[in-house]
Structure 1
Amino acid sequence: MNTYATPSQAKLPGPPEIPTDLLIGGEWRAAQGARRFDVIDPSSGRVLTSVADGTVSDGMAAVEAADQSAKAWAATAPRARSKILQACYESMMDHQAWLAELISLENGKALDDAKGEVAYAAEFFRWYAEEGVRLNGELNMAPGGANRILVQYAPVGISLLITPWNLPAAMATRKIAPALAAGCTCILKPAEETPLTALAIAKLMLMAGLPAGVLNIVTTTDPGPLASAILHDPRVRKLSFTGSTEVGRILLREAADNIVSPSMELGGNAPFLVFDDADLVAAIEGALAAKMRHGGEACIAANRFLVQRGIYDAFAERLTERMGALNVGDGCAVDTQCGAMINAAAVGKIERLVDDAKARGARVLVGGTRCERPGFFYPPTVLVDIDPGAAILQEEIFGPVAALTSFDTVDEAIALANATEFGLGAYVYTSDLKLGLRVSEQIESGMIGLNRGVLSDPAGPFGGVKQSGLGREGSHHGIKEFTEARYIAVEW
């Protein structure tokens, strides 16, 4: 039985003071017309504060600021850029507790998850501080012997970065760090649900020595016209977006007009395959990590649990026991293990998917109904015997619900895993390494956790296939997304 902690009193952490205006050209500015919007604490439904509500004019001012700083930043020595990024890493880690509390307040996630996110987010600064000085070119002899082929990697140019609310720190640094390491200036548009984290990180970056205009931030409640205007400015050459596939399609159409280079990390529908020979204890621990980190509000969260029939009942029983014991409550409470969902609409979507599954015959082993308390909560839930036509197997749940179905053969498991338009993350548990690798190679996914419930690592290429996106973030692949290969034919 889940227990519940006390609702938040919605007080911002301090010090340092959290900025709430736009960041343009190194200055904190009010939005045009002094427009502002409220930021809500999901754990209580109370207003935390308000931030500037940027307009198209503010967006164009950010482009101008990025343009004025672009040449100088691109010409800055890689080692100098590296030292700034390393200082940004150290500044974030020095303020880890402060940032974690802020994330929990505006996002609702458990404080332990928020602390882990800050460490993960900061690591992108350290990784790209190292990677930025190793952006090596190429030199080859042309096959015909007529000339040498010299290849350099140049900054792609001004970059528009659009991030979601579910990991407001990590999704920002995963884009900012490689863009800056490559020599690009950028404009960040964070999600309106969680703008404070991005603004706080920007403040720490300025304190760490980031030059004015290299990073600009525009918060807004009307992102469509803002993004369109920025993407139609010929000075803007890169779009990096993390969010839903639906919005990604719209942005791709906008980017097409000026042939802006796109990177897209979109929706997921991750399968979690458990074979009969799997280590049950390890599989349960992996399932909890893959499902419940960040309250299930993650694009690589396990969405469909496909369990072989011989281990199905034992897995369901053990997972139900563990999910039912999780403490639900205010994200900032030290004993919370599952925090609030981001807003009422998120709870409504989870409720719709669970109710549809129940109407089609699914059994609820724990949870299954929304929490009757202030804030936006849904309890950890386990459903079994899901009808193949249930919406919960087709749509991204984005919440603490584990939907279990059984399979008999390896081929059936692979077919079920691939029966989706998405292909971001997947998980496989088996004691047979040969089987695990064979299955992993046949799953249509950009990332697979083999006997591991955690996928993300700044040193690994993060991204999907099919409707889950274009390009990769993290690793050495991530910095290449912010460069263009320049080929010089030369002979001597």
Structure 2
Amino acid sequence: MHTRSYDIQLGLFINGEWRTGGRDTQPVINPADETVLAHLPLATQSDLDDALAAAATGFATWSRMSTSERAAIIDKAAALMHERADEIGTLMSFEHGKMLADGLQEAHSSADIVKWFAEEGRRAYGRVVPGPLPNSRQLVLKVPVGPVAAFTPWNFPVRIPARTVAAALAAGCSVILKAAEETPGSTTAMAQCFQDAGLPPGVLNLVFGVPAKVSEHLIASDVIKAVAFTGSIPVGKHLASLAATHGLKKLVMELGGHAPMIVCDDVDVARIATMTANAKFRQAGQACISPTRFYIQEGVYGAFIDKFVEVAAKLKVGSAFEPDTQASPVANARRLAAADEFVKDAVSHGARLLLGGQRLNRPGFFYAPTVLADVPEQARIMNEEPFGPVVPFSSFKTVEEVLERANRLKYGLAAYAFTGSDRRALQLSNGLEAGMIGINSMLVSGPEVPFGGVKESGIGSENGIEGLQAYLVTKFVQQAVS
């Protein structure tokens, strides 16, 4: 029996102060047992207006501070996040369902991102361009775009807000963060770290509310100069249209993926099958870069699936606080229904259900690790992002064939391929249409490298030097002696 508790006061953070009572609330549900953890206050229109005013004044203060002053505060926030990683990770495990080790790892990796941007903010370099006239100089400057409205999801409730907030702050921008209502505690704990680090009032504001109402109100404001969003393609397109309508605001968007996993016939089948099965089900497949379409070359197709099923069948699905848990619940009842629909549709198209395919008979939002074989391209799961613990398998003959199948969708976030051939590795890395590609690796994310997609999987990149540039605009100055 675990002794940890969900211990945090939920509220809105506006102009350096926390607001709690006197508002409509929404229950925060523990996906492992469906109990109510807390009631989350939701922002009123007055709260949003106050946040906009605070972001405007916060930007005026923050953008005028030196890069070294800003770096010191952001770096202190990162240090506090490391110190409080156990608390932050525990909150994530309660409200998201991810295992304690995963929550702790996310807390620390989020702090690493914040620390990296604390330093990168010093490198918002412009350049001096030789001029055509004597006694003159041409300057290209990089300056902060202005107050940012950021909208982040529940699946990585600290890492995604951390990379957005840290990059914007490092660039000199203020932020209004509308985080996920399903996972407010861990994001609140992150915001508290920035407050305790000495961030001036109004530079970071945290709100929760009815998503459509909040996004439409914030994006329509002249205060907001840029919009950052992580979520689905349809919602991203809607927010992009709002941003275009209300001032052609700068956009940074990560809009999900449907990552192909290509396994060639020249690999260690048992090793790759074991690794990918453990990775796929660890967070119930609820990651935008999770492999979601498994293409296995004909020569090893049967052996790979057999080993994958063997590993998946032994995984212990359970609460973050149960000993030896290896696979998490899905986040909410909607994901349970979606998983069921994908499985039924695939079977109706001729797929073979080899494992799982149903909700577990216990409290909580638990869906059994599920494996489908011989899934045709017409099945929904081969065309729509499943975002759950369901794996569809299909075989292929040649690399040319599988590249065509892997690239046929509108998605282009992540892609993975395993091969023992350097020639095939080059062919796959050149041919795959994705913003992030793992060849013989599933690690495609880190503070120092860009995170973003192509096609309809997004606009721009987060992390890396690209993440800082997302919140900067270019100013050219031609200066001559009078």
Determine the structure 2 residue equivalent to 1:3: none
Between stretches 98-107 and 147-156, larger displacement belongs to 147-156
Correspondence for 2:393 among 404, 412, 426: 404
Q: Identify the residue that residue 17 of structure 2 maps to in structure 1.
A: 27
In the alignment, what sits opposite 1:47?
A: 36
1:373 corresponding residue in structure 2: 362
Query: Mind listing any 5+ residue stretches in structure 2 that lack a counterpart?
Result: none
CA RMSD of aligned residues (A): 1.8
Q: CA deviation at 1:121?
A: 1.2
Q: Partner residue of 2:70?
A: 81
Question: Could you tell me which residue of structure 2 aligns to residue 249 of structure 1?
Answer: 237
User: What secondary structure does 2:361 align onto?
Assistant: coil
Structure 2 CA distance for aligned equivalents of residues 143 and 379 of structure 1? 69
Match of 1:329 among 302, 305, 318: 318
Counterpart contact for 2:274–2:311, Cα < 8 Å: no
Return the alpha-carbon distance in structure 1 between the equivalents of residues 180 and 438 of structure 2: 28
2-structure distance, mates of 1:337, 1:137? 48
**Aligned residues of 2:129 and 2:138 also touching (Cα < 8 A):** yes
**Is contact 1:286-1:453 (8 Å) kept?**
no
SS at match of 2:141: strand
2:125 counterpart of 1:136: yes
Alignment of 1:81-160 (within 5 A): 81-142=70-131, 148-160=137-149
Give the equivalent residue in structure 1 for 2:467: 478
Contact conserved, 1:424 with 1:445, CA < 8 A, in 2? yes
Q: Deviations over 1:435-460 (max 9, x none)?
A: 11221111111110010012111111
- 8 Å contact from structure 2 (residues 270, 304) kept in 1: no
Q: Which residue of 1 aligns with 2:213?
A: 225
Deviation of 1:281 (Å): 4.1
Distance, in Å, in 2 between the alignment partners of 1:274 and 1:148 is 55
Tell whether the 8 Å contact from 1:285 to 1:453 is kept in structure 2 after alignment: no
Q: Which one of 432, 436, 444 corresponds to residue 443 of structure 1?
A: 432
| TM-score, normalised relative to structure 1 | 0.94
- Take 2:166 and 2:159, find their aligned partners in 1: how far apart are those partners? 10
Partner residue, 2:327: 338
Give the unaligned 5+ runs of structure 1: 1-5
Distance, in Å, in 1 between the alignment partners of 2:39 and 2:102 is 25
2:266 pairs with 1:239: no
TM superposition shift of 1:54: 0.9
Shift of 1:332: 2.8
Task: Give the Cα–Cα distance (whole angstroms) in 2 for the partners of residues 237 and 479 of structure 1.
Answer: 15
CA positional deviation for 1:209:
1.9
SS at match of 2:284: helix
**Aligned mates of 1:289, 1:42 — CA distance in 2:** 21
Q: Does 1:270 align with 2:259?
A: yes
How far is the alpha carbon of 1:285 from its aligned partner?
4.5
Q: 1:353 and 1:80, CA in 2 relative to 1: closer, same or farther beyond 3 A?
A: same
Amino acid at match of 1:224: A
Structure 2 residue corresponding to 1:177, chosen from 166, 187, 191 = 166
Task: Tell me, in whole angstroms, the C-alpha distance in 2 between the residues paired with 1:491 and 1:417.
Answer: 55
Q: Which residue in the other structure is 2:53 paired with?
A: 64
SS in 2 for 1:273: strand
1:179 and 1:282 map into 2 onto residues whose CA distance is 40
Q: What is residue 458 of structure 2 aligned with on the other side?
A: 469
Cα distance in 2 for partners of 1:427, 1:490 equals 50
Per the TM alignment, residue 213 of structure 1 is displaced from its structure 2 partner at its CA by 1.2
Write the letter of the residue equivalent to 1:60. D
* Corresponding residue to 2:176 among 180, 187, 193: 187
Instruction: Give 1:464 deviation, angstroms.
Output: 0.4
TM-score by length of 2: 0.96
CA distance in structure 2 between the aligned counterparts of 1:289 and 1:327, rounded to whole angstroms: 11
Deviation of the 1:312 alpha carbon: 0.8
The structural deviation recorded for 1:369 is 1.5
1:133 CA displacement: 0.9
The 3 A distance-change label for structure 1 pair 144 and 116 is same
Post-superposition offset of 1:329: 0.6
1:372 is displaced (CA, Å) by 1.3
Q: Distance in 2 between matches of 1:267 and 1:49?
A: 29
Identity %: 38
Write the distance in 1 (CA, Å) between the matches of 2:51 and 2:182: 21
CA contact (8 A) 1:423 1:465 kept: yes
**Quick one: distance in 2 between partners of 1:120 and 1:317?**
34
1:157–1:334 CA distance, 2 compared to 1 (3 A)? farther
Residue 425 (structure 1) aligns with: 414
Task: Determine if contact 2:254/2:457 at 8 Å carries over to the other structure.
Answer: yes
Equivalent residue of 2:473, what SS?
strand
SS in 1 for 2:56: helix
SS state at 1:75 partner: coil
Query: What is the CA distance between 1:429 and its match in structure 2?
Result: 0.4
Q: Could you list the per-position Cα deviations for residues 341-397 of structure 1 after superposition, in whole angstroms to 9, with x for gaps in the alignment?
A: 111111100110011111222112221221111111111111111122111111111
Pick which of 376-385 and 112-121 moved more. 112-121
- Aligned residue pairs: how many? 480
What does residue range 245-394 of structure 1 map to in structure 2 within 5 Å? 245-257=233-245, 258-288=247-277, 290-394=279-383
Compare 241-250 and 322-331 and name the one that shifted more: 322-331
Q: 1:402 to 1:324 in 2, by over 3 A?
A: same
Structure 2 distance, partners of 1:425, 1:34, is 40
Q: Is the 8 A contact 1:149 1:488 kept in 2?
A: yes
- Deviation of 1:142 after TM superposition, in Å, equals 4.5
Query: Aligned letter for 2:5?
Result: L
